[in-house]
Chain A
Amino acid sequence: MIRIIQQRKKCIGCNACVEAFSSRWSMSRKDGKSVLIGGHKKKEIVSIIVGDDEYKENVKAATNCPVNIIKIIKL
């Protein structure tokens, strides 16, 4: 299992995470920031626990993020 964490407030809406893995990330047309699909928001942090099969793609999303707001933790 892996935990995906996003500091959404700092997102600049560049679309890089969506390009990396569009099954888990999408762009909000409401505020122009990226959405962690299925994520739960607690204060300013959005997170979700998903299977290991998504590890590679989400690491790519985290690596490509220019403002480093995505963290992937192996559980």
Chain B
Amino acid sequence: MNRVELMSPAGSFESLQAAIQGGADAVYFGIEQLNMRARSSNNFSIDDLASIHELCANKKIKTYLTLNTILYDHDISLMKRIINSAKDNHIDAIIASDQSVLVYAKKIKIPVHLSTQANISNIESVLFYSEYVDAIVLARELSLSQVTAIVKQIKKQNIKGPSGELMKIEIFAHGALCMAISGKCYMSLHTNFASANRGACIQNCRRSYIVKDKEEEIEFEIDNEYIMSSKDLCTIDFLDKIISTGVNILKIEGRGRSADYVYTTTKCYREAIDAYFKGSYNKESIISWKKQLETVFNRGFWSGYYLGKKMGEWTDEYGSKATLRKKYIGKGLKYYDKKKAAEFKLEAHQLIKGDSVLITGPTTGVISVQVEELRVDNSPVLSVQKGNIFTMSLKEKIRPSDKLYKVEEKNII
């Protein structure tokens, strides 16, 4: 059986480093406004493509550029400029759904992955798009038996993409799901003129609502208030079944998420995939991975539609159910190579010897450690206060662009 490729989200250089550290085989990212996280302030620009390629090529990590919004006539020129630049900078493929992108990418010979925004749910659609794309991200609403049937038919019918290789199939393994079929939701557009299909979703499905019968003025009692907010997809406990479908690529959702989210999810799925192929995928490991996944952003987990049992499971809490929370406490200043000590300025709260901290930065990625030693003016101290400049022993190098966070269990904060 072929190994599966693990694709992680990179919404910033921090997350990109985190994906690399976590063991991703590939990363996907958006640039400028033509991607499904257009609202995010973290999007890369065209000028970043060379650095992204260089960082990833050194580690033999594939790079995929998302260009998967609906496109209007005024976007065509920018779309072509982005694709030209992607080609010039050796980006491995474009993730797209609009036909104008497929046609142009084929013309200049850069591979395309068909985005889940195209909702591909049957083999005839796979065949239709095979003229333009080398990989297809299936609709997230399919069951594993439907995914398996599509993969089998690709082999049976020998469906190949423009590269001449058998069509690759990708599915989502972890992260947020929509309450609607992906790309078919207009709620944000209707209420706030903010189109989800232009990457501007305001996520009003994630809020709590009261359902009222206007004629009788009766409010419906709903046990779970968040009736439109789906729990997050997690497949780590049935990853064996996922891989057995024969899919080629597993994607982690979350270009809007923080670097520690990207690191933890990537690391867990990396270990799980490797364990599956080594024959050591077992219950104990699953419990451990799930516990780690619960520490970062999540709305509670469910198996999505893959196991075909129940319909949507809705969250009972606003925002994240992560068991750990991080709060910003300071910034990096410099690193002393010889002493292996990192200097920070504490800008908020206090830090005590023994606390767990997280350091993130565009070059540093993610460092997670427990504070073993604190020093102010080279003298050991038990705690440091807001305003203090201090050092702590650290094996990894830190930089002035790094942020320091204190990590605590959720109920303590």
Residue B192 contacts which of A13, A27, A28, A66 (CB distance < 8 angstroms)?
A: A66
From A33, which residue of chain B is reached at the shortest CB distance? B33
Q: Given that A33-B33, A66-B194, A67-B39 are known contacts, is A15 also in contact with B74, CB under 8 Å in the complex? A: yes
From B33, which residue of chain A is reached at the shortest CB distance? A12
Interface size on A, residues (CB 8 A): 19
With an 8 A cutoff between CB atoms, is A43 at the interface?
Answer: no
From A30, which residue of chain B is reached at the shortest CB distance? B77
Give Cα A27–Cα B198 distance, bound, in whole angstroms: 15
Residue B194 contacts which of A29, A30, A31, A67 (CB distance < 8 angstroms)?
A: A67
Give Cα A15–Cα B200 distance, bound, in whole angstroms: 13
With an 8 A cutoff between CB atoms, is A2 at the interface?
Answer: no
Return chain A residues, CB-CB under 8 Å to B77. 29-30, 32
A58 to B: closest C-beta gap in Å: 15
With an 8 A cutoff between CB atoms, is A16 at the interface?
Answer: yes
Name B's interface SS: loop
Return chain B residues, CB-CB under 8 Å to A12. 33, 38-39, 198-200
How many Cβ-Cβ contacts under 8 Å join chain A to chain B?
54
A38 to B: closest C-beta gap in Å: 19
Residue with the greatest number of chain A CB neighbours at <10 A, chosen from B77, B194, B195: B194
Return chain A residues, CB-CB under 8 Å to B38. 12
With an 8 A cutoff between CB atoms, is B78 at the interface?
Answer: yes
B384 to A: closest C-beta gap in Å: 37
Return chain A residues, CB-CB under 8 Å to B32. 31-32
| Cβ–Cβ contact A32 & B33, under 8 A | yes
From B194, which residue of chain A is reached at the shortest CB distance? A66
Return chain B residues, CB-CB under 8 Å to A16. 193
Return chain A residues, CB-CB under 8 Å to B76. 29
Return chain A residues, CB-CB under 8 Å to B78. 13, 30-32
Which residues 80-111 in B have Cβ within 8 Å of A in the complex?
A: none
With an 8 A cutoff between CB atoms, is A22 at the interface?
Answer: no
| Cβ–Cβ contact A64 & B193, under 8 A | yes
With an 8 A cutoff between CB atoms, is B72 at the interface?
Answer: yes
With an 8 A cutoff between CB atoms, is B34 at the interface?
Answer: yes
With an 8 A cutoff between CB atoms, is B75 at the interface?
Answer: yes
Which residues 14-67 in A have Cβ within 8 Å of B in the complex?
A: 14-16, 27-33, 63-67
Which residues 31-51 in B have Cβ within 8 Å of A in the complex?
A: 32-34, 38-39, 41
Which residues 299-351 in B have Cβ within 8 Å of A in the complex?
A: none
| Cβ–Cβ contact B193 & A32, under 8 A | no
Residue A66 contacts which of B41, B72, B79, B195 (CB distance < 8 angstroms)?
A: B195
Chain B residues close to A by CB (< 8 Å): 32-34, 38-39, 41, 72, 74-79, 192-195, 198-200, 202
- List 21 contacting pairs A-B, 8 Å CB cutoff, sorted by A: A10-B41, A11-B33, A12-B38, A13-B33, A13-B34, A13-B74, A13-B75, A14-B198, A14-B200, A15-B74, A29-B77, A31-B78, A32-B32, A32-B33, A32-B74, A32-B77, A32-B79, A33-B33, A66-B194, A66-B195, A66-B198
